[in-house]
Amino acid sequence: MEYLNERLNKKKALENRTKRFAIAVFKYLNSLEPSMANRIIGNQVGRSASSIGANYRETNRAESKEDFVHKLSITLKECAETEYWLDILKSMYPKSVAVQDLHAEATELVRIFQSARRTAHAKSTNSPNSIGKSVNR
């Protein structure tokens, strides 16, 4: 029972972390000067950053192991996209500590979700219910 509570607490902590990250991205975007480039990039990074948490919540409500791996893969893709757009903002605003911090958090989230996906994929392909199934998403 303690193991289940620990897993639930870790999931909740990561859900909260992704939510705080999205809010931090939105606050940063609101601080940028209005320009066409900032509007375009802001739209992209705002959507992908907020999608990380939304997709991770979906992941935690998956209906099967394969569904879990698939949704985790989508979460990872959104992380990678967010990291890309923040990398562009880092290049545009190299002195911005805020964008440096956001980029570092996006990179850390990519690592977390890569590791989780790798573990989940290995478990789903090694389980007795997945014989003959391939989950290469």
114 lies in which domain range?
Answer: 2-125
5-50 confidence digits (pLDDT tens): 777 788 899 999 999 999 999 999 999 999 999 999 999 999 999 9
State the DSSP string of 55-109: HHHHHTT-SSHHHHHHHHHHHHHHHHHHHHHHHHHHHH-TT-HHHHHHHHHHHHH
Q: What is the CATH number of the domain that holds 53?
A: 1.20.1440.60
92-131 confidence digits (pLDDT tens): 999 999 999 999 999 999 999 999 888 888 877 765 554 3
Look at the chain and report how many structural domains it folds into. 1
